[in-house]
Structure 1
Amino acid sequence: MEMGTPDICDKYRDLLQVAQPVFKSFGGLSRMSADVETLKIKHDNALFWEILKQPGHGRILVVDAEGDYCAVMGDRMADLAVKNGWKGLLIHGYIRDSALLKTMPLGIWALGTCPMKGHLTRPGHLSVPLRFAGLDIDLSNTLYIDEDGVLVSTDAFAEFAEYFP
Protein backbone atom coordinates (compact mmCIF):
# COMPACT_ATOMS: atom_id res chain seq x y z
CA MET A 1 0.00 0.00 0.00
CA GLU A 2 1.31 3.43 -0.97
CA MET A 3 1.51 6.02 1.81
CA GLY A 4 1.80 9.78 1.49
CA THR A 5 1.30 13.17 3.07
CA PRO A 6 -2.38 12.47 3.93
CA ASP A 7 -1.27 9.49 6.04
CA ILE A 8 1.33 11.60 7.82
CA CYS A 9 -1.35 14.21 8.53
CA ASP A 10 -3.71 11.55 9.91
CA LYS A 11 -1.08 10.27 12.33
CA TYR A 12 0.89 13.41 13.25
CA ARG A 13 -1.53 16.32 12.79
CA ASP A 14 -0.28 18.26 15.83
CA LEU A 15 3.37 18.01 14.75
CA LEU A 16 2.93 19.47 11.25
CA GLN A 17 2.61 22.64 9.29
CA VAL A 18 0.72 22.30 6.00
CA ALA A 19 1.52 24.69 3.16
CA GLN A 20 -1.18 26.66 1.44
CA PRO A 21 -2.00 24.91 -1.86
CA VAL A 22 0.07 27.19 -4.09
CA PHE A 23 2.92 24.91 -5.21
CA LYS A 24 3.06 22.85 -8.40
CA SER A 25 5.40 19.99 -9.19
CA PHE A 26 7.85 20.55 -12.05
CA GLY A 27 10.59 17.98 -11.47
CA GLY A 28 11.03 14.34 -12.34
CA LEU A 29 10.40 13.22 -8.74
CA SER A 30 6.78 13.35 -7.61
CA ARG A 31 7.53 12.94 -3.91
CA MET A 32 10.40 13.56 -1.56
CA SER A 33 11.37 13.99 2.05
CA ALA A 34 14.60 15.35 3.50
CA ASP A 35 16.21 17.83 5.83
CA VAL A 36 16.46 21.37 4.51
CA GLU A 37 18.82 24.19 3.70
CA THR A 38 17.23 27.63 3.38
CA LEU A 39 17.90 30.57 1.08
CA LYS A 40 16.23 33.97 0.80
CA ILE A 41 16.65 35.94 -2.43
CA LYS A 42 14.94 38.75 -4.33
CA HIS A 43 15.23 38.80 -8.14
CA ASP A 44 18.87 37.74 -7.89
CA ASN A 45 19.78 34.08 -8.19
CA ALA A 46 23.60 34.44 -7.99
CA LEU A 47 23.78 32.94 -4.48
CA PHE A 48 21.27 30.27 -5.56
CA TRP A 49 23.75 29.24 -8.31
CA GLU A 50 26.60 29.10 -5.77
CA ILE A 51 24.64 26.95 -3.32
CA LEU A 52 23.74 24.42 -6.03
CA LYS A 53 27.45 24.06 -6.85
CA GLN A 54 28.01 22.75 -3.30
CA PRO A 55 27.26 19.20 -2.13
CA GLY A 56 23.57 18.87 -1.27
CA HIS A 57 23.95 15.69 0.80
CA GLY A 58 20.41 14.61 -0.14
CA ARG A 59 18.80 17.74 1.29
CA ILE A 60 15.99 19.92 -0.04
CA LEU A 61 16.89 23.53 -0.77
CA VAL A 62 14.02 25.80 0.27
CA VAL A 63 14.20 29.12 -1.58
CA ASP A 64 12.11 32.15 -0.70
CA ALA A 65 12.16 34.36 -3.78
CA GLU A 66 9.28 36.36 -2.30
CA GLY A 67 6.94 35.15 -5.04
CA ASP A 68 8.23 37.78 -7.47
CA TYR A 69 7.20 37.05 -11.04
CA CYS A 70 10.56 36.23 -12.61
CA ALA A 71 12.27 32.86 -12.99
CA VAL A 72 14.93 32.18 -10.38
CA MET A 73 15.80 28.69 -11.68
CA GLY A 74 16.02 26.83 -14.96
CA ASP A 75 17.44 23.67 -16.49
CA ARG A 76 21.14 24.49 -16.02
CA MET A 77 20.64 25.12 -12.30
CA ALA A 78 18.58 21.93 -11.96
CA ASP A 79 21.38 20.01 -13.67
CA LEU A 80 23.83 21.41 -11.08
CA ALA A 81 21.50 20.34 -8.28
CA VAL A 82 21.34 16.77 -9.60
CA LYS A 83 25.11 16.53 -10.13
CA ASN A 84 25.81 17.81 -6.62
CA GLY A 85 23.42 15.57 -4.71
CA TRP A 86 20.47 17.82 -3.91
CA LYS A 87 17.25 15.84 -3.55
CA GLY A 88 14.98 18.69 -4.48
CA LEU A 89 13.87 22.28 -4.35
CA LEU A 90 10.88 24.05 -2.85
CA ILE A 91 10.74 27.52 -4.39
CA HIS A 92 8.48 30.34 -3.29
CA GLY A 93 8.92 31.80 -6.73
CA TYR A 94 8.96 30.81 -10.39
CA ILE A 95 11.02 28.56 -12.65
CA ARG A 96 11.58 28.22 -16.38
CA ASP A 97 12.54 25.41 -18.78
CA SER A 98 9.72 23.34 -17.28
CA ALA A 99 9.67 20.71 -20.05
CA LEU A 100 13.34 19.86 -19.38
CA LEU A 101 12.90 19.92 -15.59
CA LYS A 102 10.34 17.11 -15.78
CA THR A 103 13.01 14.81 -17.23
CA MET A 104 15.44 15.28 -14.33
CA PRO A 105 15.67 13.06 -11.22
CA LEU A 106 14.97 15.99 -8.92
CA GLY A 107 11.92 17.11 -6.97
CA ILE A 108 10.99 20.70 -7.87
CA TRP A 109 7.99 22.52 -6.46
CA ALA A 110 7.39 26.18 -7.32
CA LEU A 111 4.57 28.67 -7.75
CA GLY A 112 4.64 28.39 -11.54
CA THR A 113 6.63 29.27 -14.63
CA CYS A 114 7.94 32.51 -16.11
CA PRO A 115 10.19 32.70 -19.18
CA MET A 116 11.94 35.89 -17.98
CA LYS A 117 14.81 35.48 -15.53
CA GLY A 118 15.55 37.87 -12.68
CA HIS A 119 18.40 40.34 -12.33
CA LEU A 120 21.80 39.74 -10.80
CA THR A 121 21.84 42.77 -8.54
CA ARG A 122 21.01 41.84 -4.95
CA PRO A 123 22.68 39.49 -2.47
CA GLY A 124 20.82 36.62 -0.84
CA HIS A 125 20.84 35.15 2.65
CA LEU A 126 21.71 31.52 3.40
CA SER A 127 20.58 29.37 6.34
CA VAL A 128 17.97 31.85 7.57
CA PRO A 129 14.44 31.22 8.87
CA LEU A 130 11.81 31.60 6.14
CA ARG A 131 8.10 32.38 6.26
CA PHE A 132 5.78 31.90 3.27
CA ALA A 133 2.65 30.00 2.19
CA GLY A 134 1.57 29.52 5.81
CA LEU A 135 4.88 27.89 6.75
CA ASP A 136 7.72 28.78 9.10
CA ILE A 137 10.82 26.91 7.90
CA ASP A 138 14.29 26.70 9.42
CA LEU A 139 17.24 24.32 9.40
CA SER A 140 15.71 22.09 12.08
CA ASN A 141 12.88 21.04 9.74
CA THR A 142 12.14 18.00 7.63
CA LEU A 143 9.92 18.42 4.57
CA TYR A 144 7.50 15.84 3.18
CA ILE A 145 6.19 16.67 -0.29
CA ASP A 146 4.04 14.71 -2.70
CA GLU A 147 1.13 15.12 -5.08
CA ASP A 148 -1.17 16.10 -2.20
CA GLY A 149 0.85 18.79 -0.49
CA VAL A 150 3.84 20.16 1.35
CA LEU A 151 4.36 19.36 5.04
CA VAL A 152 6.94 20.76 7.45
CA SER A 153 7.89 19.14 10.73
CA THR A 154 10.64 19.34 13.32
CA ASP A 155 10.40 15.52 13.48
CA ALA A 156 11.45 12.89 10.95
CA PHE A 157 8.89 10.07 10.72
CA ALA A 158 10.92 6.91 10.12
CA GLU A 159 7.91 4.73 9.30
CA PHE A 160 7.25 6.86 6.19
CA ALA A 161 10.84 6.89 4.90
CA GLU A 162 10.31 4.13 2.32
CA TYR A 163 7.44 6.08 0.71
CA PHE A 164 9.47 9.26 0.27
CA PRO A 165 12.67 8.42 -1.63
Structure 2
Amino acid sequence: MTFATTDLCDNHASMLDAGTLAVLPPVYRAFGQRVRFSGPATTLQVFEDNALVRSTLETPGQGHVLVIDGGGSLRRALVGGQLGVLAESNGWSGIVVHGCIRDSEEINVCHIGVRALATHPRKSNKEGTGQRDVRVEISGVAVQPGDWVYADADGILVAGRELD
Protein backbone atom coordinates (compact mmCIF):
# COMPACT_ATOMS: atom_id res chain seq x y z
CA MET A 1 0.00 0.00 0.00
CA THR A 2 1.72 3.14 -1.18
CA PHE A 3 -0.09 6.44 -0.91
CA ALA A 4 0.41 9.70 0.88
CA THR A 5 -2.54 11.72 2.11
CA THR A 6 -0.70 14.86 1.03
CA ASP A 7 -0.48 13.58 -2.56
CA LEU A 8 -4.11 12.47 -2.50
CA CYS A 9 -5.15 15.98 -1.45
CA ASP A 10 -2.98 17.55 -4.14
CA ASN A 11 -4.15 15.17 -6.87
CA HIS A 12 -7.83 15.45 -5.95
CA ALA A 13 -8.18 19.14 -5.07
CA SER A 14 -11.43 19.37 -7.05
CA MET A 15 -12.93 16.64 -4.83
CA LEU A 16 -11.91 18.63 -1.75
CA ASP A 17 -13.63 21.69 -3.22
CA ALA A 18 -16.74 19.64 -4.10
CA GLY A 19 -16.92 18.02 -0.67
CA THR A 20 -16.51 14.45 -1.94
CA LEU A 21 -13.10 14.26 -0.25
CA ALA A 22 -12.68 15.51 3.30
CA VAL A 23 -9.83 15.80 5.77
CA LEU A 24 -10.51 14.99 9.41
CA PRO A 25 -9.29 17.65 11.84
CA PRO A 26 -5.76 16.94 13.13
CA VAL A 27 -6.89 15.85 16.58
CA TYR A 28 -6.40 12.07 16.25
CA ARG A 29 -3.50 10.20 17.84
CA ALA A 30 -1.89 7.24 16.07
CA PHE A 31 -1.58 3.78 17.61
CA GLY A 32 -0.65 0.34 16.32
CA GLN A 33 2.11 -0.86 14.01
CA ARG A 34 0.46 0.33 10.79
CA VAL A 35 1.17 4.00 10.25
CA ARG A 36 -0.52 3.89 6.83
CA PHE A 37 -3.85 2.14 6.19
CA SER A 38 -6.85 2.46 3.94
CA GLY A 39 -10.02 0.69 2.94
CA PRO A 40 -13.77 1.01 2.63
CA ALA A 41 -15.53 2.17 5.78
CA THR A 42 -17.68 0.03 8.00
CA THR A 43 -19.44 2.43 10.35
CA LEU A 44 -20.69 2.18 13.92
CA GLN A 45 -22.55 4.71 16.01
CA VAL A 46 -22.17 3.93 19.71
CA PHE A 47 -21.83 5.90 22.93
CA GLU A 48 -19.67 4.59 25.77
CA ASP A 49 -20.72 1.02 24.86
CA ASN A 50 -18.45 -1.30 22.89
CA ALA A 51 -20.48 -4.52 22.61
CA LEU A 52 -21.24 -3.71 18.96
CA VAL A 53 -17.56 -2.86 18.39
CA ARG A 54 -16.58 -6.34 19.59
CA SER A 55 -19.23 -8.18 17.57
CA THR A 56 -18.21 -6.24 14.45
CA LEU A 57 -14.49 -6.94 14.91
CA GLU A 58 -15.32 -10.64 15.37
CA THR A 59 -16.41 -10.71 11.69
CA PRO A 60 -14.01 -10.84 8.71
CA GLY A 61 -12.73 -7.32 8.08
CA GLN A 62 -11.67 -7.95 4.48
CA GLY A 63 -9.42 -4.89 4.53
CA HIS A 64 -12.12 -2.50 5.75
CA VAL A 65 -11.59 0.38 8.14
CA LEU A 66 -13.90 0.41 11.14
CA VAL A 67 -15.07 3.99 11.74
CA ILE A 68 -16.56 4.35 15.21
CA ASP A 69 -18.61 7.43 16.02
CA GLY A 70 -18.33 7.38 19.79
CA GLY A 71 -19.76 10.85 20.12
CA GLY A 72 -16.29 12.18 20.95
CA SER A 73 -16.68 10.91 24.52
CA LEU A 74 -13.55 11.25 26.61
CA ARG A 75 -15.07 9.36 29.58
CA ARG A 76 -14.62 5.69 28.54
CA ALA A 77 -12.58 3.65 26.07
CA LEU A 78 -14.28 1.92 23.13
CA VAL A 79 -11.32 -0.17 21.93
CA GLY A 80 -8.75 -2.02 24.03
CA GLY A 81 -5.92 -4.48 23.54
CA GLN A 82 -8.13 -7.55 23.06
CA LEU A 83 -10.09 -5.79 20.32
CA GLY A 84 -6.85 -4.70 18.65
CA VAL A 85 -5.75 -8.35 18.49
CA LEU A 86 -9.21 -9.34 17.21
CA ALA A 87 -9.08 -6.69 14.47
CA GLU A 88 -5.62 -7.84 13.40
CA SER A 89 -6.63 -11.52 13.39
CA ASN A 90 -9.77 -10.89 11.35
CA GLY A 91 -8.17 -8.79 8.62
CA TRP A 92 -9.32 -5.27 9.43
CA SER A 93 -7.10 -2.61 7.87
CA GLY A 94 -7.60 -0.07 10.63
CA ILE A 95 -9.87 1.57 13.17
CA VAL A 96 -10.78 5.25 13.55
CA VAL A 97 -12.37 6.07 16.90
CA HIS A 98 -14.14 9.36 17.55
CA GLY A 99 -13.56 8.65 21.22
CA CYS A 100 -10.97 6.88 23.36
CA ILE A 101 -9.00 3.66 23.41
CA ARG A 102 -7.22 1.90 26.27
CA ASP A 103 -4.42 -0.66 26.55
CA SER A 104 -2.41 1.50 24.17
CA GLU A 105 0.79 -0.49 24.76
CA GLU A 106 -1.03 -3.68 23.71
CA ILE A 107 -2.53 -1.99 20.65
CA ASN A 108 0.88 -0.60 19.71
CA VAL A 109 2.24 -4.13 19.13
CA CYS A 110 -0.68 -5.11 16.86
CA HIS A 111 -0.19 -4.99 13.10
CA ILE A 112 -3.14 -2.67 12.60
CA GLY A 113 -3.60 1.07 12.37
CA VAL A 114 -5.67 2.82 15.01
CA ARG A 115 -6.54 6.49 15.33
CA ALA A 116 -8.35 7.85 18.38
CA LEU A 117 -8.84 11.14 20.17
CA ALA A 118 -7.15 9.97 23.37
CA THR A 119 -6.53 7.13 25.79
CA HIS A 120 -8.66 6.48 28.85
CA PRO A 121 -8.30 3.66 31.39
CA ARG A 122 -12.03 3.17 32.06
CA LYS A 123 -13.76 0.37 30.15
CA SER A 124 -16.97 0.88 28.26
CA ASN A 125 -20.46 -0.37 28.96
CA LYS A 126 -21.50 -3.70 27.41
CA GLU A 127 -25.24 -3.21 26.81
CA GLY A 128 -25.17 -3.64 23.03
CA THR A 129 -26.63 -0.27 22.16
CA GLY A 130 -25.75 1.43 18.89
CA GLN A 131 -26.10 1.07 15.15
CA ARG A 132 -24.00 -0.48 12.38
CA ASP A 133 -23.65 0.57 8.73
CA VAL A 134 -25.27 3.98 9.16
CA ARG A 135 -24.13 7.46 8.18
CA VAL A 136 -22.00 8.86 11.01
CA GLU A 137 -20.36 12.19 11.62
CA ILE A 138 -16.93 12.28 13.21
CA SER A 139 -15.23 15.55 13.99
CA GLY A 140 -17.65 17.33 11.64
CA VAL A 141 -17.03 14.98 8.69
CA ALA A 142 -19.80 12.71 7.39
CA VAL A 143 -18.82 9.09 6.73
CA GLN A 144 -21.10 6.71 4.83
CA PRO A 145 -20.66 2.93 4.85
CA GLY A 146 -18.43 2.15 1.86
CA ASP A 147 -16.69 5.54 1.76
CA TRP A 148 -12.92 5.15 1.48
CA VAL A 149 -10.72 6.06 4.44
CA TYR A 150 -7.02 6.84 4.00
CA ALA A 151 -4.75 7.41 7.00
CA ASP A 152 -1.03 8.04 7.32
CA ALA A 153 1.32 10.10 9.46
CA ASP A 154 -0.03 13.34 7.99
CA GLY A 155 -3.76 12.85 8.41
CA ILE A 156 -6.99 11.00 7.77
CA LEU A 157 -9.06 11.42 4.61
CA VAL A 158 -12.59 10.32 3.79
CA ALA A 159 -13.50 9.96 0.12
CA GLY A 160 -16.77 9.13 -1.57
CA ARG A 161 -14.92 6.61 -3.74
CA GLU A 162 -11.63 4.76 -3.98
CA LEU A 163 -8.84 7.11 -5.07
CA ASP A 164 -6.07 6.27 -7.50
Partner residue, 1:44: 49
Alpha-carbon separation, structure 2, partners of 1:52 and 1:117: 17
What residue in structure 1 maps to residue 8 of structure 2? 8
Instruction: Report the Cα distance in structure 1 between the residues aligned to 2:53 and 2:146, rounded to whole angstroms.
Output: 20
Q: Secondary structure at the match of 1:121?
A: coil
State the partner residue of 2:32.
Answer: 27
Tell me the TM-score normalized by structure 2: 0.91
Q: What per-residue deviation string (whole Å, max 9, x for no partner) do you get for residues 23-66 of structure 1?
A: 11011100111111000101110111101111111100000111
Correspondent of 2:101 among 95, 100, 104: 95
Question: Cα distance, 1:140 vs. partner?
Answer: 3.2
TM value normalised by structure 1: 0.91
Cα deviation, residue 117, structure 1: 1.0
**In the alignment, structure 1 residue 130 sits paired with structure 2 residue 130:** no
- SS of equivalent residue, structure 1 residue 108: strand
Cα 1:83–1:12 shift into 2, 3 Å = same
Residues 100-158 of structure 1: CA deviation (Å, up to 9, x unaligned)? 11111001000010011122235110000011213110013101111111111112123
| Alpha-carbon shift at residue 99 of structure 1 (Å) | 1.1
Q: Is the 8 A contact 1:26 1:102 kept in 2?
A: yes
Partner of 1:151: 157
How many residue pairs match? The answer is 157
Q: 1:65-144 to 2 correspondence within 5 Å?
A: 65-69=70-74, 70-121=76-127, 123-144=129-150
Bigger shift: 45-54 or 7-16? 7-16
Contact 2:42 2:146 in 1 (8 A): no
Moved beyond 6 Å, runs of 4+: none
Aligned identity (percent) is 35
| Distance in 2 between residues matched to 1:14 and 1:48, nearest whole Å | 34
Number of the residue aligned with 1:163: none
Match of 1:56 among 39, 57, 61: 61
**Any unmatched runs of 5+ in structure 2?**
16-20
Q: Which amino acid aligns with 2:77?
A: A
Does the residue aligned with 1:131 lie in a helix, a strand or coil?
strand
Structure 1, unaligned stretches of length 5 or more? 159-165
What letter is aligned with 1:152?
A: V
